[in-house]
């Protein structure tokens, strides 16, 4: 079965930088939006008081932990085949569809 590790090169390529989206009024880094980071950084990264600066300086390794978290949500901890979902997500060149589809 596919692992989240198999999609890391794709995610890193398309979601690798920080961007400010004026229409959403929030920063995104490595495909993780500020609202998602603020809510999940304590659980995923152990950061008790997430900041925008923390999101903006998020490392590749930290970003990978978010990918793993949402992969596990989408695949029921890797017990179902994610291929159909990931095909559409990958074709859109975005992990954010996965993040939106998987409640925390």
Determine the pLDDT at residue 73. 85
Per residue in 87-102, pLDDT (tens digit) is: 444 444 445 555 544 5
**Six-digit token string for 62:** 């930290």
Contact 65/57 with Cβ under 8 angstroms?
Answer: no
Lowest average pLDDT, out of 1-5, 29-33, 49-53, 62-66, goes to 1-5
Element (H, E) at 5: none
**Six-digit token string for 16:** 């690798």
Count of the separate structural domains present in the chain: 1
Collapse the DSSP code of 21 into the 3-class scheme (helix H, G, I; strand E, B; otherwise coil) and give the result.
strand
Per residue in 50-68, pLDDT (tens digit) is: 999 999 999 999 999 999 9
Domain that residue 91 falls in: 4-101
Determine the pLDDT at residue 84. 54
């Amino acid at each position: 079965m596919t692992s989240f590790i198999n999609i890391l090169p794709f995610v890193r390529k398309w979601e690798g930088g920080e961007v400010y989206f004026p229409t959403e009024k929030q920063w995104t880094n490595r495909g993780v939006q500020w609202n998602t980071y603020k809510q999940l950084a304590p659980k995923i990264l152990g950061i008790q008081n997430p900041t925008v600066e923390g999101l903006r300086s998020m490392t590749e390794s930290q970003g990978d932990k978010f990918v793993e978290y949402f992969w596990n949500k989408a695949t029921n901890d890797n017990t179902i085949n994610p291929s159909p979902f990931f095909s559409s997500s990958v074709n859109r060149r975005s992990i954010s569809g996965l993040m939106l589809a998987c409640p925390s």
